[in-house]
Amino acid sequence: MDFDSLTAPIEGADHREIGGVQLDIARAGDGRVKRTIYPAGFRWSRDMKAVSGTELCQHAHVGFLARGSIGIQYGDGCRREFTAPQVVAIEPGHEGWVIGDQDAVMIEFDFERDSVRRLGMPDGHRH
């Protein structure tokens, strides 16, 4: 298999696996930069809901989808699809899944529990 710098180990990053999702997290000033690898077949309600203990994902996701495609649906039924290369901004209160048979790789920026406020995002989806 060829070397893939997009998914290779990141020196100095904290590596975690949660619900099949690979996370590599590095501090950057007051924030974090995360490489998140969502495996093909991933669905938040099946793979992460029990871990989070909430009906929908309550994290804001801001970053760049570098590979693959993802779909999301907010609690009000509004749906969006993102396909690499694409900038992504997803408000809290969503279901999410990987579209197709390729892993989705996203580079995210956050401020842990203060991301919504610090990034100036709404605390939930609005039309």
pLDDT tens per residue, range 42-69: 999 999 999 999 999 999 999 999 999 9
- Domains along the sequence of the chain with CATH: 14-113 (2.60.120.10)
Q: What pTM did the predictor assign?
A: 0.92
Reported as half-sphere exposure (CB side, CA atoms, 13 A), residue 25 has a value of 13
Q: How far apart are CA 109 and CA 36, in angstroms?
A: 11
pLDDT tens per residue, range 79-115: 999 999 999 999 999 999 999 999 999 999 999 888 9
Which phi and psi angles does 88 have, rounded to 5°? -125, 135
